[in-house]
Amino acid sequence: MQIDDTALPGVKVLTPRRFEDARGWFSETWNRETLRGRGIDLDFVQDNHSLSRPAGTVRGLHFQRPPRAQDKLVRVVAGAILDVAVDARKGSPTYGRWVAEELSAENGRQLLVPIGFLHGFVTLRPDTQVVYKCSDVYAPDCDGAIAWDDPTLAIDWSIDPATAVLSDKDRVAPRFADWDSPFTWDGAE
């Protein structure tokens, strides 16, 4: 598996090898022992799968606060997304900065979003399916969102904001500057 760093420490792009033949291809998308040997030691406990019918569907920016904070490993099994991670760790030198990676069924890339980062994506094609592993189970009392179109963050979602398809939760999410992040940078990286 190829593992690439991004501009945000801890956020990584994982690209599994594909073994192809006349039938198609096979890919190992997660192997705890292999990745532990490469410095990624996570114990995933929940898998989520979403279908977004229209292109331009935005999901995020989401987080789950401690004590139920989650690492996420995100991949696309049909369609394509622009996947976004935002550093929300108070005191971090990259606090408020973001990275975006295109993930698609074709490229097989995955984005590792550690605890302390906001996560969101926009679908680039209709009927996009996203699957992601989480290191903790969903806890509604710890669930939260930040405005996806926050001008302070200035994320380039590559869509016209007026056409974004949003949930009610994402439509009313607070601005980054109005939010007291529950995450703190530990100084390690």
Residues with a known catalytic role: 62, 132
CA distance readout (Å), 78 to 39, 75, 119, 130: 29, 9, 19, 7
CA distance 43 to 66: 16
DSSP β-bridge partners for residue 64: 143
CA distance readout (Å), 13 to 2, 53, 66, 109, 111: 8, 25, 24, 7, 5
CA angle 173, 182, 123 (to 5 degrees): 40
